[in-house]
Chains A and B, each alone.
Chain A
Amino acid sequence: MEILQNLGLGLATAAEPVNLLFCFIGVLLGTLIGVLPGIGPTATIAMLLPITFGFEPATSLIMLSGIYYGAQYGGSTTAILINLPGESSSAVTAIDGYQMAKQGRAGPALATAALGSFFAGSVATVLIALFAPPLTEVALKFGPAEYFSLLMLGLVASVALAHGSVIKALGMIVIGLLLGLIGSDVNTGAQRFTMGFLELADGVNFVAVAVGVFGIAEILRNLEDESDREVMVKKVTGLFPSKEDFKAAWAPVVRGTALGSILGILPGGGAVLSSFAAYTVEKRISKTPERFGKGAIEGVAAPEAANNAGAQTSFIPMLTLGIPANPVMALMIGAMIIQGIQPGPNVAVEKPELFWGVIASMWIGNLMLVLLNLPLIGLWVRLLTVPYTVLFPAILAFCCIGVYSVNSNAFDLYAVAAFGLLGYVLVKLECEPAPLLLGFVLGPMLEENLRRAMTISRGDPTVFFTRPLSAGLLIVAVLVLVVVFLPSVRKKRDEVFQEE
Chain B
Amino acid sequence: MFKSLAAAVAAFGVLTGSAVAETYPSRVITMIVPFSAGGPTDTVSRLVAEAMSKDLGQQIVIENVGGAGGTLGAGRVAKADPDGYTLLLHHIGMSTSATLYRKLPYDTLNAFDYVGLVTDVPMTIVARANFEPADMKALVEYAKANKDKVTYANAGIGAASHLCGMLFMSKIETPLTTVPYKGTGPAMTDLVGGQVDLMCDQTTNTTNQIKGGKIKAYATTTKERLAALPNVPTAAEGGLTDFEVGIWHGVYAPKGTSPEIIAKLSASLQKALKDPNVVKRFADLGTVPSSEADATPEALKAKLTSEIARWAPVIKAAGVYAD
Contacts and interface: CB of A to CB of B under 8 A. Distances in A.
Contacts of B46: 49-50, 53, 338
A409 to B, nearest CB: 7
A140 interface: yes
A335 B181 contact: no
Contacts of B208: 322, 342-346
A409 B66 CA distance: 9
A334 B43 contact: yes
A6 interface: no
Nearest to B319: A188
A456 B193 contact: no
Interface in B16-74: 36-40, 42-43, 46-47, 50, 62-69, 71-72
B39 A330 contact: yes
A133 B2 CA distance: 71
A452 interface: yes
B177 A323 contact: no
B158 A456 contact: no
Contacts of A189: 100, 156-158, 320-323
Interface in B73-125: 75, 100, 103, 105
Interface centre among B38, B62, B158, B322 (most CB of A within 10 A): B38
Interface in B174-193: 177-183, 185-186, 188-190, 192-193
Contact of B204 (A186, A327, A337, A408): A337
Contact of A140 (B36, B42, B75, B189): B189
B276 interface: no
A330 B64 contact: no
A199 B36 contact: no
A409 B320 contact: no
A455 B177 contact: yes
Interface stretch (B234-242, B265-273, B277-285, B302-310): B277-285
Contact of B185 (A323, A337, A409): A323
B211 interface: yes
Contacts of A335: 38
A323 B189 contact: yes
Contacts of B207: 342, 344
A53 B195 CA distance: 36
A285 B71 CA distance: 50
Interface string A194-223: 001011011000000000000000000000
Contacts of A184: 68, 157, 322-323
Interface in A160-204: 184, 186-191, 196, 198-199, 201-202
Contacts of A190: 321
A201 B321 contact: no
B209 interface: yes
Given A50-B46, A184-B322, A345-B209, A407 B179 contact: no
Given A140-B194, A268-B189, A337-B40, A345 B214 contact: yes
Given A198-B105, A334-B38, A345-B208, A452 B320 contact: no
Given A188-B157, A198-B105, A323-B192, A344 B212 contact: yes
B258 interface: no
A136 to B, nearest CB: 9
B234 to A, nearest CB: 22
Nearest to B105: A198
Contacts of B156: 186, 189
B322 A334 contact: no
Contacts of B257: none
A338 B43 contact: yes
Contact of B179 (A141, A198, A202, A452): A452
| Contact count band on A | 35 or more
Given A49-B38, A345-B209, A408-B65, A142 B193 contact: yes
Contacts of A452: 179-181
A323 B215 CA distance: 13
B179 to A, nearest CB: 5
A337 B43 contact: yes
A412 B100 CA distance: 24
Nearest to B101: A198
Nearest to B195: A143
A325 to B, nearest CB: 8
A267 B189 contact: yes
A340 B284 contact: yes
Contacts of A317: 189
Nearest to B67: A202
Given A199-B67, A201-B68, A456 B38 contact: no
A455 B187 CA distance: 14
Nearest to A197: B68
Contacts of A62: none
Nearest to A317: B189
A46 B43 CA distance: 12
Interface string A139-153: 111111000000000
Contacts of A343: 208
B170 to A, nearest CB: 18
Contacts of B196: 456
B209 A322 contact: yes
Interface in A317-359: 317, 321-324, 327, 330-335, 337-338, 340, 342-346
B191 to A, nearest CB: 10
5 contacts: A45-B37, A50-B62, A267-B185, A345-B213, A407-B67
Given A268-B185, A321-B189, A345-B212, 9 more contacts: A49-B46, A184-B323, A201-B323, A267-B189, A331-B38, A342-B208, A344-B211, A345-B214, A407-B64
Interface of A: 45-47, 49-50, 53, 139-144, 184, 186-191, 196, 198-199, 201-202, 267-268, 317, 321-324, 327, 330-335, 337-338, 340, 342-346, 407-409, 448, 452, 455-456, 458
